[in-house]
Structure 1
């Protein structure tokens, strides 16, 4: 019987983190590598694509939270008056 290939999210390099914080941390690390100029040429495109995916993930998470806040505030996004 042939083995069935399984997709394991942990082993997949394309799998996105499960949290905003993890994605942001990975994105910051990746940007540092890209800006250092020490990343091999053959990895630059892959790094850029991964960064774009992480950025989209983070933006989507932030948008979802913003939408939830609008619902809680009766449809109006109010200015932040944080400390």
Structure 2
């Protein structure tokens, strides 16, 4: 079975980005690659695992912000009206 090149392997095993925006951008690019149907099967699995890690990272960041907002608003989330 062919193995992933060192470059492909290192990209998928890279540490998580420092910011939510960085993780979201990488996740969006990964989704495009996965949906293209052009990735070999072994890279699909690695890509899926990387995507799951990025998604968990983004969810954690969003939860942390939501928790901070709850503290600022006295433990109540208020509806967002967008204005």
TM-score (norm 2): 0.83
**Superposed counterparts of 1:1-80, under 5 Å:** 13-80=13-80
Number of aligned residue pairs: 73
Larger of the two Rg values belongs to structure: 1
In terms of fraction of residues, the more helix-rich structure is 2
TM-score normalised per structure 1: 0.83
> Which stretches in structure 2 are left out of the alignment for 5+ residues?
1-10
Runs of 4+ in 1 over 3 A off after TM superposition: none
Residue ranges of structure 1 left out of the alignment (5+ in a row): 1-10
